Amino acid sequence: MSDVIIVGAGPTGLMLAAELRLAGIRPLVLERQPRPRDTPKAGGIGGQILELLRYRGVLERFQAACTDPIPAPRFPFGGVHVDLTQLEGNPMHALPLPQQQLERVLNEWVDELGVDIRRGHRVLGVEQDAEGVCVDVEGPDGTYRLDARYLIGCDGARSRVRELAGIPFSGTVYPEVNRLAQITVPESVTRLDNGDLEVPGFGTVRSGFTRTERGLFGMAAAPNSDSLSVYTIEDEDAEYDDDVPLTVAELQESIQRVLGANLPVAQTYRLSRFTFKACQSERYREGRVLLAGDAAHLFPATGVALNAGMLDAVNLAWKLAAVVDGRVSEQLLDTYHEERHFAGARTMLHTRAQVALRRGHDPAAEALRAVFQELLTDEQPLRRMGAFIAGSDIRYPLPNSNNHALTGAFAPDLELHADDGIHTVAELLAAARPVLLILSDRADLADIAREWLPHLEIRTAKLDDRPADALLIRPDAHIAWAAAIDEPIAAAEPALRAALETWIGTPGQR
């Protein structure tokens, strides 16, 4: 019997497999496609997942695989632009790493970690009871059955696992087709210094967004490159197969319909087509079956799905490992649903707001976009919007006895002064283990926490301006508990013990 079977070897499934291996669990991954897909999908990753990858010490792998220049932090939001270039400490960064390359890097990582991936193996049926899950599979050599303690569906928008588990997946389907490409134009098209194009027989095609009665056209020049990103949105009722790639002819026909101009194309580097849905699974857990990524949620905007799905995986992996090890009860898995459903709802909120901004065509909608764009000239709303898009605004609603502002938040990467030198929070979390970080002379807190060794790292350091006396940081880099400065031990001890028992298990286990 396997401990964990993951269905789907996309970014979410591969991230989950890597995190489980870091936690000491050896999952089996089933993928229905016989080989990694070449069909272009997402064009990059961004937001909070980049910080998490940095904390794991692997971000440089992904950066090294990125051959395109990293663009300035300007992001589309419902047909307008969120320009974060003027912010110090910008909360939202992106890495232009197309999904095929992203999956290649993730595959290399999980291969090094010793993950077993079976490609060309399709799930036919799922049955579960109190002891485990039985999975019927069709592979290249016929059908067979697997047993596992837990099954995780990372198998995308049309999740077979979700369907077989009977988990409702409701929401809204928008009648939009989006086509996105990275292209170069021939010499007959003149690129102006301001980013506009002069197209023979048509005139000026403006950089940015152009809205017509037939849809939306977007265009932006890639930094330090001859290429352009072009984008169309049209209302269509047609159904498209995700495995059938967008062609240059289809792209040009869409541009002609929306813009009324024939935009010549010299070369293409990326072509993708996608539709928008706003759907969220009613629950992310049904007994021993759990969902992550697109199987759990679909958002009606670009640039957020990979971030959300990979963060689902990070939240789930260490909890699942603790349950499989027998250190904690299955109830810990309920916190996966509670926290990531909450995070998904936050993402759904701003992506649905983008729908409202994007789809209106009357003067009132134009006024809404103008007012929204004007608000983003002020630093505070701009900073809030950047954190919203990045997912860095998420603060899980955890038990918080002293109402500490850091409880539930992503741990800041503090510079720590210890006896053996200067370290950072990111260094402490590279091994994906929970850490009690003591930032003051609180030997009393360390004495309590030693009962949870060896499943906990206890580290002591100094800060010039400490935010708390101590922080209990989970493997997903979120703060489970914080001791207020000079908080009496009588108040701190019960809350610390409760947090350690909740997230790590009964003290004294080996």
Contacts of 124 (CB under 8 A, 6+ apart): 136, 137, 138, 143
Q: Which residue has the higher pLDDT, 228 or 484?
A: 484
Question: Is residue 132 domain-shared with residue 184, that is, in the same domain?
Answer: no
Span 316-333, average pLDDT = 96
First to last CA, the chain: 23
Q: What is the pLDDT of residue 223?
A: 63
Q: Which 3 state secondary structure label does DSSP give 343?
A: helix
445 in any annotated domain: yes
Q: In whole angstroms, how large is the CA radius of gyration of the chain? A: 24
Q: Quick check: pTM over 0.95?
A: no
Question: Is residue 317 domain-shared with residue 425, that is, in the same domain?
Answer: no
Maximum pairwise Cα distance, the chain: 79
Question: Is residue 218 domain-shared with residue 367, that is, in the same domain?
Answer: no
Range of lowest pLDDT (135-144, 225-234, 235-244): 235-244
> Quick count: other Cβ atoms within 10 Å of Cβ 3?
19
Question: Is residue 423 domain-shared with residue 480, that is, in the same domain?
Answer: yes
Residue at which a domain ends, from 240, 259, 276: 276
326 in any annotated domain: yes
Establish how many alpha carbons lie within 13 A of residue 160's alpha carbon, considering only the half-sphere containing its beta carbon. Answer: 17
* Alpha-helical runs (H) found in 66-215: 99-113, 160-165
265 in any annotated domain: yes
Question: Is residue 36 domain-shared with residue 98, that is, in the same domain?
Answer: yes
- 187-237: pLDDT as tens digits: 888 888 888 888 887 788 888 888 888 888 888 876 667 888 898 989 887
Sign (positive/negative) of CA torsion 465, 470, 473, 478? negative
Q: Considering the chain, what is the average pLDDT of its residues?
A: 92
Q: What is the pLDDT of residue 407?
A: 97
Question: Is residue 105 domain-shared with residue 50, that is, in the same domain?
Answer: yes
Residue at which a domain ends, from 322, 357, 390: 390
CATH code, domain carrying 214: 3.30.70.2450
CA-closest candidate to residue 146, choices 136, 157, 138 = 136
| Location of structure tokens 């009588």 | 490
Q: Which residue has the higher pLDDT, 317 or 87?
A: 317
Angle between helices 363-375 and 332-359 (to 10 degrees): 120
Q: What is the pLDDT of residue 510?
A: 67
Residue at which a domain ends, from 276, 309, 338: 276
| Location of structure tokens 């790493």 | 97
- 448-476: pLDDT as tens digits: 999 999 999 999 999 888 999 999 999 99
Domain of residue 212: give its range.
172-276
Query: Is residue 391 very low, low, confident or very high in pLDDT (cuts 50, 70, 90)?
Result: very high
Q: What is the pLDDT of residue 203?
A: 85
CATH code, domain carrying 299: 3.50.50.60
CB 68 within 8 Å of CB 81: no
Query: What single DSSP character describes residue 410?
Result: B
* Tokens standing for residue 402: 């002293």
Q: Across-strand partners of 127?
A: 134
Question: Is residue 31 domain-shared with residue 160, that is, in the same domain?
Answer: yes
157 in any annotated domain: yes
* Tokens standing for residue 441: 């002379």
Question: Is residue 26 domain-shared with residue 121, that is, in the same domain?
Answer: yes
Q: What is the DSSP string of 434-497?
A: -EEEE-SS-HHHHHHHGGGTTSSEEEE-B-TT-S-SEEEE-TTSBEEEEEPTT--HHHHHHHHH
Element (H or E) spanning 311, and its range? Answer: helix 305-324
pLDDT at residue 39 greater than cutoff 70: no
What percentage of the chain has pLDDT greater than the value 70? 99
287 in any annotated domain: yes
CATH code, domain carrying 485: 3.40.30.120
Query: What single DSSP character describes residue 242?
Result: T
397 in any annotated domain: no
CA-closest candidate to residue 272, choices 296, 226, 305, 295 = 305
- 367-390: pLDDT as tens digits: 999 999 999 999 999 999 999 999
Q: Pairing relation of β-strands 415-418 and 421-424?
A: antiparallel
Question: Is residue 129 domain-shared with residue 263, that is, in the same domain?
Answer: no
Question: Is residue 157 domain-shared with residue 60, that is, in the same domain?
Answer: yes
454 in any annotated domain: yes
Question: For the chain, how many structural domains are there in total?
Answer: 3
Q: Which 3 state secondary structure label does DSSP give 3?
A: strand
Q: Which residue has the higher pLDDT, 269 or 484?
A: 484
Question: Is residue 229 domain-shared with residue 286, that is, in the same domain?
Answer: no
Query: Is residue 5 very low, low, confident or very high in pLDDT (cuts 50, 70, 90)?
Result: very high
